[in-house]
Amino acid sequence: MNTTLRLKTLSLLISACLLAACGGSTTEESTAAAESATAAAAAAPAPRFADGTILFDRMPGELGYWGNPSLHSLMEKGVEVPMNEQGILSNIDDAAKVAPFMDWSLALYKHRQANGLQDDPVNVCISPAGPRHLQDPKGFRMVQDRNLDRVYLMFGGGNRNWRHINLDGREPPNLDEVQSTFFGYSNGHFEGDTLVVDSRGFNDRFWFSNGGLPHTPALVLTERFTRTDHDTLVYNVTINDPRTYTRTWEAEWTLGWVPGDIEEGFCEEGRPLAGVAQ
């Protein structure tokens, strides 16, 4: 079924290319044909392993990764507040709507917003982590290692870092007994087609969202990854940090499948992330 749809999509794409190459159509028509082919691809179901488990990464012979997040900063689900791609609010008076802040965290968020995020650790090449990596314009891959029962999240942003999610049924660590880290400790399991991940044990040496939302080492995330079709990944995260927010809260965004490979890039301290030869 998947193969049939993929072949259909491929043939549509080839047709679109041929139309353009033969000069038998205007640029607008070619674009329309390509868009039509893209729309057909969007309708393709999410690929699966032979046992029916959802495949979050590429099919054999395919190139692609997850990118183009529909939201650029953490924001409570249901709230709509205008901000730019760095998470800077159009109106600072909207700050309190973004999340259920405590007094101190709202003040710190506003402070970071007001100074244009100049204290962002990313500026000195300290990697983002937590949900922020999943809003990075450089995108990411989710590689399932079924031998080790793990999922690797491989990021194009920061310094092309990676984190892993254990799927072997182990219990989450006791926060009093683990060394906190940038990427924390992630254990996951499937609920239907959704990969549900408990992530905890973070340090507070990074910003876990664009826009400068604060967190403390008490942060615990429940992340839900759902590939709803071939081209769409829904990411839902519940944030529980009782030292920073007055209650748990939820954020959600979608990511699109980007054909091709992640652009190679490295962080140079004091400079924006530089793209290297493609």
Partner 1 sequence: MKLLKSALFIFAAALPFLASAQEGYPLDGTWRGEWGQAGGEQTLAVVVMNWDGTTINGRINPGRNTINFTSASLNAVGWSAHIEAQTREGETIVIDGVLSELGSYHRKLTGTWVSGGVENQLVLTRE
- Residue with smaller CB distance to partner 1, 132 or 230: 132
Q: Which is nearer to partner 1, 48 or 110 (CB)?
A: 110
Kindly state whether residue 218 participates in binding partner 1, applying the rule CB under 8 A. Answer: yes
| Single residue of 140, 207, 225, 253 touching partner 1 by CB under 8 A | 207
First to last CA, the chain: 34
| Residue in this structure with the two tokens 């942003």, named with its chain if needed | 157
Q: How many residues bind partner 1 (CB under 8 A)?
A: 26
Report the residue number, 109 or 257, with the smaller CB distance to partner 1.
Answer: 109
- Which CB atom, from 77 or from 205, has the smaller least distance to partner 1? 205
**Does 18 interact with partner 1 (rule: CB under 8 A)?**
no
* The binder of partner 1 chosen from 244, 251, 255, 263 (CB under 8 A): 244
206 binds partner 1 (CB under 8 A): yes
Phi, psi for 118 (deg, rounded to 5):
-65, -20
Site string for partner 1, 120-159 (x = CB under 8 A): -x--x-x---------------------------------
Which one, 171 or 269, has the nearer CB to partner 1?
269
Q: Which of residues 107-126 bind partner 1 (CB under 8 A)?
A: 107-108, 111-112, 115, 118-119, 121, 124, 126
Burial of 191 (0-12, 13-18, 19+ CB in 10 A): exposed
Report the residue number, 116 or 259, with the smaller CB distance to partner 1: 116
- Candidate segments 23-31, 87-95, 99-107, 183-191, binder of partner 1 by CB under 8 A: 99-107
Binding-site ranges for partner 1 (CB under 8 A): 103-104, 106-108, 111-112, 115, 118-119, 121, 124, 126, 204-207, 214-218, 242-244, 269
